[in-house]
Structure 1
Amino acid sequence: MRGGFVLDHIREAFNRFAQEYDTQREYVIPELRQFYSTAVWAMESPAPGPAILDVGAGTGLLGAFLLQKFPDARLTLMDIAEEMLGMARKRFAARPGTEYRVCDYTRADLGGPYDIVCSALSIHHLSPEDKRRLFRKIHDALVPGGMFVNADQADGETPFFRERYLEYWNEFLRSGPMTDAQQAEILKRRDTLDRNEKLSVQLSWLNEAGFSDVDVVYRNRTFIVTVARKG
């Protein structure tokens, strides 16, 4: 990333629309429920109460899905935007023991060890160098056999597919109930904050980080779910 300048813009943008984030998701992300449910399906742990770290956790939307599968999970939510984590605190107010960490997860110590590390719609904001570094940090923070599940975005493999995917996404946004101003805000964030990388490159970085089993379990144009298991 381009230093603190980009981080400040990400923090500012996500703090600004924290209140609207959850209500807009189904109109911003095609097949939202399948996208998240596939990520949860991919999470496996022999521990009945697995230690789970959610990086870029935002309002805790992914955490809410995964707790349906792992109700006894020891959950740590990490995000740079304090207002987003504030929404997560409200979501999990009746659930003691959940940990919240406001920090830049690309630079912070992730802690651990964890049985599962997961993320949703966050890592695509990072530079290529920060993505690669983060994948190595996540590998090191997992127990042997631990899993990293990333529900995120990927660029098309060629300029042709990049444009086709954007056309699909734009049409989905236009088909929903959001106002023109809301759509314009989504497109502005996408154009200024998203730094998508090709799926093939992301998979190669996961292998490079040391994961023994790497695959993609879901793809709907731009939206992907990758899974990586530590040997």
Structure 2
Amino acid sequence: MQHIRHAFNRFAQDYDRQREHIIPDLRDFYDTAVWAAESDSDLPAILDIGAGTGLFSAYLLEKFPEAHLTLIDIAENMLEMARQRFAGREHTEYILRDYSSGDLGGPYDIACSALSIHHLAPEDKRRLFARIYTALRPGGMFVNADQADGETPYFRERYLEYWNDFLKSGPMSAEQHAEILRRRDTLDKNEKLSDQLAWLKEAGFSDVDVVYRNRTFIVTVARKGGTP
């Protein structure tokens, strides 16, 4: 995970500014993830895994303004951006930690993640899903807005072509474009959506589904059974 830490520390200042030019239909992607997050509590405890600059948490606060936030990330520069975003906000905790193996704490009503877990190796993803299940209260939900590989080589190539065309259509310079492709080639470890759904079920989640897909970009939702 240290190479991921170094990479994200390096471009923390530009992360939010570039998002809409890297992720197609960015707001629809996040809006669907926020819609999927549910809690019976007016003061839900929310864990943001790989929180980065806190962008996903900021969107969730539009729905749950009184939430207790815990943001965990391995990159200190990214978490510093989150601290600036939520400066002065109460009930907000920042944890600098490798979430792939470190303690997640809990219990939480909602666990969420955006564009982070796809950097992990397959077995680390499987183990993380099980650890998230344990960290949630009964009735808790895990919302993962992330990336997925195509189910076949044919669709993998088509999804990459779509993404490449989107990147070329934006305002980024040739140097910025090359950096995005370099990060994608070296840091991304996308898994098939079918595998990710199977791992969530294997972890014990009783309700598992995909609520959004735009080629590579997905939002999966998993609910832990039981009464909150």
Query: TM-score when scaled to structure 1?
Result: 0.97
Partner of 2:201: 207
Segments of structure 2 that go 5 or more residues without pairing to the other structure are: none
Partner of 1:94: 88
CA RMSD of aligned residues (A): 0.4
Map 1:156-175 → 2, pairs under 5 A: 156-175=150-169
Residue-by-residue CA offset, 1:30-68 (whole Å, 9 max, x unaligned): 000000010000000000010000000000000110000
Moved >2 Å (runs of 4+): none
Partner of 1:41: 35
Partner of 1:12: 6
* 1:152 partnered with 2:128: no
**Which amino acid is the alignment partner of residue 29 of structure 2?**
F
- Deviation, 1:107, is 1.1
- Deviation, 1:94, is 2.7
1: distance between equivalents of 2:40 and 2:161?
42
Q: In the alignment, is the contact (CA less than 8 A) between 2:67 and 2:91 conserved in 1?
A: no
Segments of structure 1 that go 5 or more residues without pairing to the other structure are: 1-6
Partner of 1:107: 101
1: distance between equivalents of 2:19 and 2:73?
18
Partner of 2:15: 21
SS in 1 for 2:145: strand
SS in 2 for 1:195: coil
Query: TM-score when scaled to structure 2?
Result: 0.98
Moved more, 217-226 or 102-111: 102-111
**Which amino acid is the alignment partner of residue 40 of structure 1?**
V
- Deviation, 1:96, is 2.0
Residue-by-residue CA offset, 1:112-146 (whole Å, 9 max, x unaligned): 00000000000000000000000000000000000
Map 1:47-58 → 2, pairs under 5 A: 47-58=41-52
Partner of 1:132: 126
**Which amino acid is the alignment partner of residue 68 of structure 1?**
E
2: distance between equivalents of 1:111 and 1:94?
23
* 1:198 partnered with 2:175: no
**Which amino acid is the alignment partner of residue 227 of structure 1?**
V
Map 1:75-94 → 2, pairs under 5 A: 75-94=69-88
Partner of 1:116: 110
